[in-house]
Amino acid sequence: MQYRIEHDSMGEVKVPADKLWGAQTERSHENFEIGVGIENMPIEIVHAFAILKKAAAMANNELNPKKMTEAKLSAISKACDEIIAGKLDEHFPLVVWQTGSGTQSNMNANEVIANRGNQIAGEKILHPNDDVNQSQSSNDTFPTALHIASVYMIEDKLIPAVEVLIDTFKRLENENEGIVKSGRTHLQDATPVKFSQEISGWTSSLERDVEMLKLAVKPLSELALGGTAVGTGLNAPKGFDKCVAEKISILTGKKFTTAPNKFHSLTSKDEVVFAHGAIKALAGDMMKIANDVRWLASGPRLGLGEITIPENEPGSSIMPGKVNPTQCEAVTMVAVQVMGNDVAVGISASQGNFELNVFMPVIAYNFIQSARLLAEAILSFNKNCAVGIKANKQKMHDNLHNSLMLVTALNPYIGYENAAKTAKKAYKENISLKEACVALGFLTAEKFDEVFHPEQMV
């Protein structure tokens, strides 16, 4: 392998000649061989860094054009555009398990932008710290990148995925209107519901989750950039914080503002905890929905069997013909991962000391993973399971009319205790509710038929 010599304030370092990173990135690459290639810094954070670096250069050019010249701005902007487009992903090798402030990832961005910018300019006009990191600190850039990436993940990936599944459930509601089935509570038979009503519960849960995710975006739109090292804004020109937030808004097409208190935004991660809580709520609802679907599809002969779902692959290496609810299982595993991630995010957020939180990379890793996994699991579940849900009308009818809880309809006519006696006699003797009620002398056969209409109990 060919190497070149790069240097930083600690001296010279050998760097692979075909890579754009510099000395500080290489030091981190060598010093933190933890989860290499498996738990790298999420690429969404890298791309968010490029957005904020370009915006910072634009703001510095506007506020201090003598230092951030048009030539430097142009070189930085073009390099950042390449990063945002994913063209330079291979030049960001660092793992999550590094300094808790994310300093090395900030410097990775600074060095790649400087080196690529100098290539574009055809001369060495950019310094990683003096130019690309101008008016910034790792302590305010990393939380800014985290917020930008989090907003993108929620607005552009997670919410659209949920809305696709909502549309599917709304279609299923319309298609299954009028089909009455047995309800269930405590995993036991309960009074009837329409299948469309059951589906509407899934739909409404997801719609409420979208509302909560949208609420969570607002505090995430406040950015720490401009606070520099400890929140005072040292070495940043006056008005830089507001100006750079405006530039980020322009570049992203999303509304970002400067955080009103930088001492809070550098050390507290409560906005991320709140947002991840909304993601966890969605995971909880997806766990419930996936479990409902696989229970309803259980069988095909010895379970509930009230719906059928697509048969996507063989379900057993030993039992021929077996098909399993694999999409449901994938969703529930992802939900468990998200719930575990929520613990990591919450504990990490509690570890702010004085003017800084030094658990930011692990917060970023877990947050981005939760949003990505959940969005992809929802889309997979929709495509490979939900769109193909079909009601087994005959099984629903048979289960409904075999349910002892239909006796609830008799409460107004024979009272709760007599209805309970009717249900117990029917169960013990394996006879119908009508036979039990008549045998006990509570109603005549004619009166029973007059008042007993399961389809009207919904």
> Is 333 within 8 Å of 325 (Cβ atoms)?
no
Other CB atoms within a 10 A radius of the CB of residue 355 amount to 15
Q: Which helix (H) or strand (E) holds 352?
A: strand 352-353
Is 186 catalytic? The answer is yes
Token duo for residue 147: 């917020």
Exactly one of 7, 101, 137, 186 is catalytic; name it: 186
What's the one-letter identity of residue 136?
Q
Q: Which of 7, 316, 350, 453 is catalytic?
A: 316
Is residue 316 annotated as a catalytic residue, yes or no?
yes
What's the rounded Cα separation, in Å, for the pair 375 and 373?
Answer: 6
H or E stretch at 5: strand 3-8
CB neighbour list of residue 166: distance below 8 Å, 6 or more residues apart? 203, 206, 207, 210
| HEC-encoded secondary structure of 269-311 | CHHHHHHHHHHHHHHHHHHHHHHHHHHHCCCCCCCCCCEECCC
* Cα distance between residue 362 and residue 344, in whole Å: 8
Side chain identity at residue 275, one-letter code: A
H/E stretch holding 13:
strand 11-16
- Please list the active-site residues: 186, 316
